[in-house]
Structure 1
Amino acid sequence: MNNNPESSHLVLKNVRVFDGENDRLEPGHVVVCGRHIERIVPHTDTFAEPDGARVIDCAGEAGEITRVLMPGLIDAHTHLAVAGVSALEVLTGPDGLVHCKALVEARRMLMRGFTSARDMGGPTTAIKNVIDSGDFPGPRIYPSNAAISQTAGHGDFSAVYDAPTALGGPLSRADQVGIMRVADGTERVLAAVREQLKKGASQVKLMAGGGVTSVYDDLDVVQFTPEELRVAVRAAEDWGTYVAVHVFTTEGIKRALDAGVRSIEHGQLADEETVALIASKGAWLSTQPFAEGDHTFPDPRSKEKDARVCQGVDHLFTWARDHGARLAFGTDLLFAPDAGDRQSRMFARLDRYMSPVDALRVGTSGNAALLRMSGNRDPYGQAELGVVRPGAWADLLVVEGDPTKDLSLLADPERNLSVIVKDGLTYRNRFG
């Protein structure tokens, strides 16, 4: 791995380029200078490598150009701080365990080809800073910091006998670690939103409905009053960014949209009318192609709720396509330290609902458009993500084969990703 990208060129030769947007794959060479893409040279043009460039020739043994270069993948709904730990480790582990395990998971995520991640709940600003400094490998992180929940909502990890914090009760372990922040009433919600922005949040996450893993609420429960949601939205807008909400159901989605929420996370139990409403308002539907078995639950109630959510996936993707909703892909894996590879398999599962090239657009330039909604809080807004074109960030993958025809290639990144470049640094190079 080169640790001084600013002083050198990198050339990826003899590739077919998927630029993140267009169907056509153009054969050629991609030249990186420092942290950015400098130019894309058509294969038919005369090409001289820059002096001192690191060169990766991706041609086959007979000189054929079959491998595809594409933008790094983006996961729009991750939980880095809790993906690599069990719930028991979070509740009983020593201080610092969550952060250390998150760094391990960040490296694994990068090596699966996910070069950017929108984190939707967890203390990831410090982890982001370590990665951005170059001291540890991992994806670019758009942190939400603690997700904000009401008492008895999806995110209240206190014991049933604890008084609410608004009534003088203690902070739960999840609140202490910075995974959640329970806040009731407009004043506390306002303070909780500002707290996450103070800690470096790119966007703000609220729990606006019941959840699968929740102890106290069912999926139909609508959470936060309209006034509480509006306060959160206004506070985020004052900082030039937006609010995203965890919510599955029609009533919760409509309340959130009425309050000005810009991104609906999940939505698998919405009806068609509500999906059409999301599209008409120009909001994002940031969702996941869940299947039973993606998560395991010791609580039979959670297993039953998960089955209901999974049953809504097919309808949701169909209606989103039919009504032209702005669709983003995420995985939402959490409390599953041995299940990180599902991230890649879940992305490949998108081919059930769209063509492989449309899925690639969603996972690259599409998700990048959602990341840009962070506006003034976008930590990487100096250049484009999710595309291969001059001036964009040099986050690139070289795939063994053509993922625009066969998305399943990306389900096995260890086998099929020959080159992984992020921020101009080469993290994998199978060509010597």
Structure 2
Amino acid sequence: MLPALRSFSPIAPSANGACCCDSPLLQRFHERMMAEISRRHFLGGTAAVVALFAGLRAPEAVGARPRGQDRPVLLTHLRLFDGSGAPLREEVAVRVEEGRIQAILPADAEPQGAEVIDCGGCVLMPGLIDAHWHTTLAAITQVAAMTADVGYVHLVAAREAERTLMRGVTSVRDVGGPSFALKRAIDEGIVAGPRIFPAGAMISQTSGHGDFRMRHEIPRGASTPLSEQERQGVAAIADGEAEVLRRTREQLMLGASQIKLMAGGGVASTYDPLDSTQFTERELRAAVEAAEDWGTYVMVHVYTPRGIQRALRAGVRSIEHGQLADEESVRMMAGENAWWSLQPFLQDADANVYPDAVRRESQRQVAEGTVRAYEMAQRFDVNTAWGTDILFNPQNTPNQLRHLAKLTRFYDPLTVLAMATGRNGELLALSGPRNPYPGTLGRIEPGALADLLVVDGDPARGLDFLEDPERNLRLIMKGGRIHKDRLGEDS
């Protein structure tokens, strides 16, 4: 922006020698600039973090061999999992050109000018998609997120984004938090990371699951400033249809690909009990209508039948969690063709540890509900997505793919893998014109985006190989760029 200001020279004299300082054009320019500066100041640390990264190259360990950009690539000597859940295919090769799958060819196809990559008999599959990921909030503790400099929070998130990509997760649906700046930095190649479908701030009612204020901040008056979490874009508190409408439109203005509302309580909540129902149907519908006007959809955090049914009646397209659903709610999800974004909350080694009995009991209820939820999702043929919802837990992010492998308790391995690739790609596509990455994700088919993994394992037998991605992911490609290549090395 500064070079443009210098070249504009708004105070240069006009042709007749008079100063242009008071011209209407300059005044309008000044007003626009001041508004932009104010907006950037409000966004604060987010913009500052982008500036911190400006001019830096991606770490050498990631993106060190950006092959496939200027020259086509032909992947050979492989077994193909195409993301559909169908059995692996043999005797094929895959050609990548200009960041997309150009063709699936016979194994003996001629390179025709392409660089040949021998996959050594390993499995080629689409990049993984986590449909419930908090890009900015996963790898930092809640205390640090609430007390550290905002720049630090975003730098931690950028480092975790690189690690996420190196686990083979090439796309994430961000379900709440200030991820817009990181998304831009990744898209521009400043840092490495997955494709981000951002929701922006989680919209919550007062006392809802996204209300992180302290007790001394209540009550809020008409002139009370926003809380720190609201200023940073973690959450947005809205009460009444008009406020919900405004907050929804603000996230769309910032670039949200979908909208996230809190429609019920949670396990780790400070104020709202697990069984609480949040937002009226009219409030939920206000967000749905605003999102639909922009060609996209609303997802809601909710667990209980009452909250699920209210959200579905309002037109919500994706139920996040929902482990306490009853049969009526699940039938309603199937009937509305909604998505059930489930996570394997099983009160196991990956679960958060709570010191108090109340939250442990809520956690137990959700764990029991998880087993029933996966059974009902299959029985009633509900669109089901996989996500992790790792939040404020840096110790757990390295185990992201373990959350996927454990689903083989409920499904056969290829169905699980299809859920984390092709099926999740269909969910991402609900963003319609707000999709920041037009093109098919999660599938290996002509025209699809070339987000690919070469894995040392047999997904037809099991997914345990995903629990050690550093060793078993031999090649990681995103958009035709190779971010990791250990083909030919000893495993």
Name the TM tier (shorter chain): over 0.9
Equivalent of residue 295 in structure 2, options 232, 235, 240:
240
* Match in the other structure for 2:70: 7
Q: Output the CA distance in 2 between the equivalents of 1:54 and 1:135.
A: 26
* Match in the other structure for 1:62: none
State yes or no: 1:34 paired with 2:98. yes
* Secondary structure of 2:77's aligned partner: strand
Matched residue type, 1:82? L
* TM-score (structure 2 length as normaliser): 0.83
Equivalent of residue 183 in structure 1, options 238, 241, 244:
238
Q: Output the CA distance in 1 between the equivalents of 2:68 and 2:372.
A: 46
Q: Report if aligned partners of 1:403, 1:410 keep a CA contact under 8 Å in 2.
A: no
Q: Output the CA distance in 2 between the equivalents of 1:170 and 1:329.
A: 37
Q: Output the CA distance in 1 between the equivalents of 2:384 and 2:395.
A: 28
What are the superposed Cα offsets for residues 201-256 of structure 1, whole Å, 9 maximum, x if unpaired?
Answer: 00000000001121111011000011111101000001110000000000000100
* Match in the other structure for 1:397: 453
* Secondary structure of 1:129's aligned partner: helix
* Match in the other structure for 2:41: none
* Match in the other structure for 2:341: 286
Q: Report if aligned partners of 1:150, 1:223 keep a CA contact under 8 Å in 2.
A: yes
* Match in the other structure for 1:47: 109
Q: Report if aligned partners of 1:296, 1:303 keep a CA contact under 8 Å in 2.
A: no
* Match in the other structure for 2:262: 207
* Match in the other structure for 2:424: 367
Matched residue type, 2:447? G
* Secondary structure of 1:373's aligned partner: helix
* Secondary structure of 1:212's aligned partner: coil
Query: How many residue pairs are counted as aligned between the two chains?
Result: 422
User: Is the deviation greater in 89-98 or in 215-224?
Assistant: 89-98
Structure 2: 5+ residue stretches without partners: 1-63
State yes or no: 1:16 paired with 2:79. yes
Q: Give 1:10 shift.
A: 1.9
Q: Output the CA distance in 2 between the equivalents of 1:135 and 1:177.
A: 22
Matched residue type, 1:30? V
Matched residue type, 2:390? L
Q: How does 1:281-360 map to 2 (within 5 A)?
A: 281-292=336-347, 293-300=349-356, 301-360=358-417
Q: Output the CA distance in 1 between the equivalents of 2:339 and 2:240.
A: 26
Q: Give 1:296 shift.
A: 2.4
Q: Give 1:303 shift.
A: 3.1
Q: Output the CA distance in 2 between the equivalents of 1:90 and 1:22.
A: 39
Matched residue type, 1:13? T
Equivalent of residue 414 in structure 1, options 448, 453, 470:
470
* Secondary structure of 1:236's aligned partner: helix
Q: Report if aligned partners of 1:204, 1:243 keep a CA contact under 8 Å in 2.
A: yes
Report the aligned-residue RMSD: 1.5
Q: Output the CA distance in 1 between the equivalents of 2:383 and 2:193.
A: 27
Q: Report if aligned partners of 1:75, 1:118 keep a CA contact under 8 Å in 2.
A: yes
* TM-score (structure 1 length as normaliser): 0.95
Q: Output the CA distance in 1 between the equivalents of 2:228 and 2:382.
A: 37
Q: Give 1:275 shift.
A: 1.0
* Secondary structure of 2:150's aligned partner: coil
Matched residue type, 2:396? A
Computing the radius of gyration from Cα coordinates, the structure with the larger value is: 2
* Match in the other structure for 2:45: none
Q: Output the CA distance in 1 between the equivalents of 2:200 and 2:221.
A: 21
Q: Output the CA distance in 1 between the equivalents of 2:414 and 2:336.
A: 26
State yes or no: 1:144 paired with 2:199. yes
Q: Give 1:270 shift.
A: 0.9
State yes or no: 1:192 paired with 2:247. yes
Q: Give 1:176 shift.
A: 1.9
Equivalent of residue 262 in structure 1, options 314, 317, 325:
317
What are the superposed Cα offsets for residues 87-138 of structure 1, whole Å, 9 maximum, x if unpaired?
Answer: 0111110121221111111111111111000000011111111111122111
Q: Output the CA distance in 2 between the equivalents of 1:124 and 1:151.
A: 23
What are the superposed Cα offsets for residues 265-316 of structure 1, whole Å, 9 maximum, x if unpaired?
Answer: 0000111221111111100001101121423245523333222211211000
Q: Output the CA distance in 2 between the equivalents of 1:392 and 1:165.
A: 49
* Match in the other structure for 2:283: 228
Q: Report if aligned partners of 2:66, 2:483 keep a CA contact under 8 Å in 1.
A: no
State yes or no: 1:158 paired with 2:220. no
* Secondary structure of 1:195's aligned partner: helix
What are the superposed Cα offsets for residues 168-207 of structure 1, whole Å, 9 maximum, x if unpaired?
Answer: 4442222121111111111111110011001100000000
What are the superposed Cα offsets for residues 133-185 of structure 1, whole Å, 9 maximum, x if unpaired?
Answer: 12211110000010100111101011112125465444222212111111111
Q: Give 1:416 shift.
A: 1.2
Q: Give 1:6 shift.
A: 3.2
Q: Report if aligned partners of 2:68, 2:96 keep a CA contact under 8 Å in 1.
A: no
Q: Report if aligned partners of 1:151, 1:164 keep a CA contact under 8 Å in 2.
A: no
Q: Report if aligned partners of 2:451, 2:477 keep a CA contact under 8 Å in 1.
A: yes
What are the superposed Cα offsets for residues 313-343 of structure 1, whole Å, 9 maximum, x if unpaired?
Answer: 1000000000000000000001011211221
What are the superposed Cα offsets for residues 403-431 of structure 1, whole Å, 9 maximum, x if unpaired?
Answer: 12212221221121111111111111112
- Greater strand share, structure number: 1
Distance 1:111 1:166, change over 3 A: farther
Q: Report if aligned partners of 1:5, 1:33 keep a CA contact under 8 Å in 2.
A: yes
Distance 1:357 1:315, change over 3 A: same
Matched residue type, 1:274? S
Distance 1:69 1:3, change over 3 A: closer
Matched residue type, 1:324? D
% same residue: 48
